[in-house]
Every structure is written in structure tokens, then in C-alpha cells.
Amino acid sequence: MTSLARSQQFAGLVARQPDNELFRFSLAQALLSENRQADAIEHLQFCAHKKSDWMMPRILLAKSLLHLSRREEARPWLEDALRLAIEQAHEDPEAELRALLSGF
């Protein structure tokens, strides 16, 4: 299945169940694979707001914002993701987030 077909598939699922954060996250990932960061942002924000301890949407959201040169919007998401990485003992994401934040 092509990435476009994946995004279309998940867009249909999101249309039917807009409050399903797993469908939204899958749609965001498919959009990112199509280099459609701007389109993924609303879905990543939804996921981050729905689950306060879900680190991955925050990381992908921050990276998407950085890709779109929206650095100041990305920073709080990076900081929040770093906090979660430390709390959840995710060493690789912690190192990556520290490296991204060192550029600020």
C-alpha cells in the first residue's frame, strides 16, 4: 500500500471516528511519510492533548513544527516530550530531544 493510500485510508477512519486518537496518530504518521507536516499537525496536537503521557505525538509535532520553521511553537512540545522521556526512562528519545533543544 502506498503512503497516499495509507493516508486516505486513515482519513476515512478519522472521518468516521474523529475522537479516536489511534486513528489520528496513524493518519499523522501517514501524512508525515508523504512529507505533509502541515497537515499532520492538527492530528498530532489532538493526540498530545488527549493523552498527557503520550510522548511520541509530542516529538513528531515538535519535529513537524521545526520542519516548518515554527521554532518557538516547537520548543514547549520538545520540553514536554523531554520531561516525559525522562519520567518514562526512554533514553534514546531523551538524548534526541536534548540535542534538538540544544539548538535553541
4 band by pLDDT with thresholds 50, 70 and 90: confident
**Terminal-residue alpha carbon distance, the chain:** 38
3 band by pLDDT with thresholds 50, 70 and 90: low
88 band by pLDDT with thresholds 50, 70 and 90: very high
In this prediction the pTM is: 0.94
Q: Residue 75's domain is classified under what CATH number?
A: 1.25.40.10
What is the number of domains present in the chain? 1
Residue span of the structural domain in which 85 resides: 3-102
CA distances from 50 to 8, 25, 55, 102 (A): 23, 11, 12, 28
pLDDT tens readout for residues 23-76: 999 999 999 999 999 999 999 999 999 999 999 999 999 999 999 999 999 999
C-alpha cell at 18: 474523529
